[in-house]
Structure 1
């Protein structure tokens, strides 16, 4: 994966093994379901999503899928994220464990709401 350049998220996902493709497609599905109208693109070499600003990113690493959800989401879901390795704005879901689908959906919805509030407070 490192060093490969993908033009689309479809290309990024298609380059993975079937088991990894399934996990990545699950995350994509969760994002699209939680945020109708979200824009998807490759940014920083990984799938990125825009909705009234930066929404979320995810990326595949050797032993985990990183969900880049911004520091506010890490703080808001601190209790739920205890079983996972986290850093300032990143959550690492181990590849050998099932994805916590509801938690991912809740985080995406949280980010959506944050972006909506930020967007609404900007002067027109």
Structure 2
């Protein structure tokens, strides 16, 4: 019978499953996002750490050779296309290799962009409801 996958209920329980060096990187990413989205709620979604602010804002997770920053459908990928060109990028995730320094300035800028983007979407939805 296959081993049951751990169901995480806290960000700490997720982070603590990794080696210390990876835990450190995940904490740095966590703090960078918190600092740049102070009103966002920290949650576990899809069994990985995430932040919510007027909808899902940003997810992060660790793997054997990289950390992934996942962003729901957004203009962030086009807006930061040049900055992301050094990384493996899919339609919803950016892979940050563990053997390279974290691009904290980029994570900061993308987080702020997502906060602004989600606020604008929330305002648009509110305006449409009034019509």
Higher Cα Rg, which structure: 2
Q: How does 1:36-55 map to 2 (within 5 A)?
A: 36-55=38-57
Normalised by the length of structure 2, the TM-score is 0.88
C-alpha distance in structure 1 between counterparts of 2:86 and 2:95, whole Å = 10
**Cα shift at 1:122:** 1.6
CA–CA separation in structure 2 for the residues paired with 1:107 and 1:120:
20
* Unmatched segments (≥5 aa) in structure 1: none
* CA distances 1:64-94 after superposition (whole Å, capped 9, x unpaired): 1110023421111100001000011110000
Q: CA deviation at 1:16?
A: 1.4
The equivalent residue for 1:75 is: 78
Post-superposition, which runs of at least 4 consecutive aligned residues in structure 1 deviate over 3 A? none
Unaligned stretches of 5+ residues in structure 2: none
Match of 1:11 among 10, 13, 19: 13
Partner of 1:118: 121
Cα deviation 1:5-51 (Å, max 9, x = unaligned): 21100111122111001100001001110011211111101001100
- In structure 2, the residue matched to 1:102 is 105
Q: 2-side partners of 1:95 and 1:3: how far apart? A: 24
**What residue is the counterpart of 1:87 in the other structure?**
90
Q: TM-score, normalised by structure 1?
A: 0.93
Aligned length: 123
